[in-house]
Amino acid sequence: MARVLVGVKRVIDYAVKVRVKPDKTGVVTEGVKHSMNPFDEIGIEEAVRMKEKKLASEVVAVSCGPAQAQETLRTALAMGADRGIHVEVAGAEYDTLQPIHVSKILAKLAQDEKADLVIVGKQAIDDDCNQTAQMTAAILNWPQGTFASKVEKTGEGLTVTREIDGGLETIKIKMPAVKAKKKPIKKVTPKDLGVDTAARIEVLSVEDPPKRQAGAILPDVDALVAKLKEGGHI
Amino acid sequence: MEHSIQLLGHLRCPKYSSIRGTMLSVFVKRGSSSRNISSLLSRFQSTLVIAEHNNEKLLPVTLNALTAAKKLGGEVTVLVAGTKCGPIAEQVAKAPGIAKILVAENEAFKGFLPESLTPLVVASQKQFNFSHILAGATAFGKSLLPRIAAKLDVSPISDVIDIKAPDTFVRTIYAGNAVLTLKAKDPVKVVSVRGTSFEAAKLEGGSAKSENAPSGEYKTDLAEFVSQELSKSDRPELTSAKVVVSGGRGMKSGENFKLLYDLADKLNAAVGASRAAVDAGYVPNDLQVGQTGKIVAPELYIAVGISGAIQHLAGMKDSKTIVAINKDPEAPIFQVADHGLVADLFKAVPELTQKL
């Protein structure tokens, strides 16, 4: 049976309309509702389902971030994860923490914890990078099943149905693989794990996107047809 | 001139101090004009574009990536890897201004698995020492590029919408609600390109030569391609269509999407959907437009029965003209729509189709 490591991230709640800071250094996070990245919730659910089907022996949730990341880990534990690992990264170090750093941390933990499968959400809804799974797999030299919509255990490996641009694709990957209260949460730092979190990027600015002006409400379909003609669309 | 200034700026970066001496002495010996400086400096930019194709046709996003590559300055090389590369290399060769095409035809690349393509790209990188590696930000590019970046120990840059300098990129975060400009500090920039943000390069006037990519043992037993189920459609492809008609939860069922297909046929449009419509099972997931689906920017986007959640707007708000048809006058979609129609879609859409 497999031990599953699931990466979870605390992000601004998906329903919040973010505000850019006036000094253009980032978005306002203080006093804003945060929750678990929605794709990571799917990751935890999948891991817990594997446990229910006796395909997984233990589900370990990992989160990298400031002290509040523990809230996200507790959510994962409440959903059925067995234990949590909090990799504490805060302040300026967290501001420039990129998927490459998180991947190195996850890869090290996957080895230390003797995980057979790492699950992460396909992207975090704050940085929208969509990189961590792929990079973790690369560092471990494990296969990857990205954008998975269905995962089945077949023989020694997994059969993964992937959402691709034109439809669906099925691949087989070998295990180990990467595809996201009272229980214990262990606290470590990237340094403990031997991971260098030196900044790989410099944020030059964070700005509002160009605003779209609301147009006019039209009285009927004829008016819409006239507008489409006017715009050269028909 | 602006171009050469950017490149000079780049050279001041301490990373390049070791080559600066050599470059300037070459310049002095030749006594060239500033134009030559620019061309000399740009030699130190060299970009590899990974072609996306299906062994028959080059996919259009590669043409957008080629335009992004040109913006970086310097030489552009295109890598064509697959089980059948001849026709693709022929198509790519027509693009103007490409230095060369690397061809890797091998059964190992069946299904374009990142596990087999990554060692090929890393071997090519070792041989040619590119400053940039680019591909379109599609399911293919998103799956492959971060794996390559991790093997090169560099931080990749996803879905860029603009290139300000060879090390300065613009991308959106928070579902398109903030625009981040960043300077990449790593020596090699691995970048996926948002197709709708760069014009498509024209496939004419070029005559690039093909050569074999570095050979190696690219077969992998880590992963195996089994099958694909592609949605069949005669309509234009969603991300490159000039007109897109999209349906949301308000469509109420998959059958009702026929109303949108009829309208789309009149407009030669692609059909898209909101996540709500995909999750409800009305249409397959590859039609999803939004933060975690496809990003489109057509001339005309018609949103039918879509409320306009942040996540959906992220995928379509750069459309030139937006039309919304929704019975709820308070729906957020009306805040971005150029033309709004507050109406029952089951009456308005058939009427619109009939009047076109």
Position A213 in a domain: yes
B154/A100 Cβ within 8 A: yes
Angle between helices B114-128 and B139-151 (to 10 degrees): 50
Within the 30-69 window of chain B, which residues sit less than 8 Å (CB to CB) from chain A? none
What is the domain partition of chain B in residue ranges? 2-9+43-212, 238-355
Q: Which CATH number do you get for residue A131?
A: 3.40.50.620
B115/A143 Cβ within 8 A: yes
3-state secondary structure of B294: strand
Position A234 in a domain: no
Percentage of residues in chain A with pLDDT exceeding 70? 98
Within the 210-249 window of chain B, which residues sit less than 8 Å (CB to CB) from chain A? 220-231, 239, 243
Angle between helices B34-42 and B2-11 (to 10 degrees): 60
Position A88 in a domain: yes
Digitized pLDDT (tens) for each residue of chain A, 234 residues in all? 789 999 999 999 999 999 999 999 999 999 999 999 999 999 999 999 999 999 999 999 999 999 999 999 999 999 999 999 999 999 999 999 999 999 999 999 999 999 999 999 999 999 999 999 999 999 999 999 999 999 998 888 899 999 999 899 999 999 888 874 567 899 999 999 999 999 999 999 999 999 888 799 999 999 999 999 999 998
Closest Cβ–Cβ partner in A136, A142, A218 for B222: A142
CA dihedral (A141, A151, B228, B289) in degrees, to 10, reads -100
How far is it, in rounded angstroms, from Cα B144 to Cα A182? Answer: 40
CATH architecture, domain B238-355: 3-Layer(aba) Sandwich (3.40)
Q: Position of tokens 């613009």?
A: B170
Which residue from B minimizes the CA distance to A130?
A: B142
Burial class (CB in 10 A: 0-12, 13-18, 19+), B146: buried
Q: What is the pLDDT of residue B294?
A: 96
Position A134 in a domain: yes
How far is it, in rounded angstroms, from Cα B227 to Cα A87? Answer: 39
- Band of the pLDDT at B31, cuts 50, 70, 90? very low
Q: What is the pLDDT of residue A181?
A: 57
Question: Does B2-9+43-212 match B238-355 in CATH topology?
Answer: yes
- pTM, rounded to two decimals: 0.89
Within the 56-85 window of chain A, which residues sit less than 8 Å (CB to CB) from chain B? none
- What CATH number was assigned to the domain covering residues B2-9+43-212? 3.40.50.620
Range of the domain at A110: 2-229
Q: Report the residue count for chain B.
A: 356
How far is it, in rounded angstroms, from Cα A36 to Cα A9? Answer: 6
ipTM: 0.95
Within the 81-120 window of chain B, which residues sit less than 8 Å (CB to CB) from chain A? 111, 113-115, 118
The reply to whether B291 sits in an annotated binding site is yes
C-beta separation of B338 from B316 below 8 A: no
Question: Does pLDDT of B26 surpass 50?
Answer: no
Instruction: Name A191's Cβ contacts closer than 8 Å, sequence gap at least 6.
Output: none
Tell me the chain A residues in contact with residue B317 when contact means C-beta distances shorter than 8 Å.
209, 212
Which residue from B minimizes the CA distance to A107?
A: B150
Which residue from A minimizes the CA distance to B182?
A: A203
Does A229 lie at the interface with B, CB-CB under 8 angstroms? no
Question: Does pLDDT of B43 surpass 60?
Answer: no
C-beta separation of B269 from B259 below 8 A: no
Chain centre to alpha carbon of residue B180: 18
How far is it, in rounded angstroms, from Cα B87 to Cα B242? Answer: 27
Tell me the chain A residues in contact with residue B229 when contact means C-beta distances shorter than 8 Å.
167-170
Give how far A105 is from chain B: nearest CA, Å: 13
How far is it, in rounded angstroms, from Cα B245 to Cα B273? Answer: 8
* Number of Cβ atoms within 10 Å of the Cβ of B207: 9
Instruction: Name A216's Cβ contacts closer than 8 Å, sequence gap at least 6.
Output: B338, B339, B340
Instruction: Name A139's Cβ contacts closer than 8 Å, sequence gap at least 6.
Output: A103, A104, A107, B150
pLDDT tens-place string over residues B194-243: 999 999 999 999 999 999 999 999 999 999 999 999 888 889 999 999 99
Calculate the average pLDDT of chain B: 89
CA-CA-CA-CA torsion sign (A136, A139, A140, A144): positive
3-state secondary structure of B151: helix
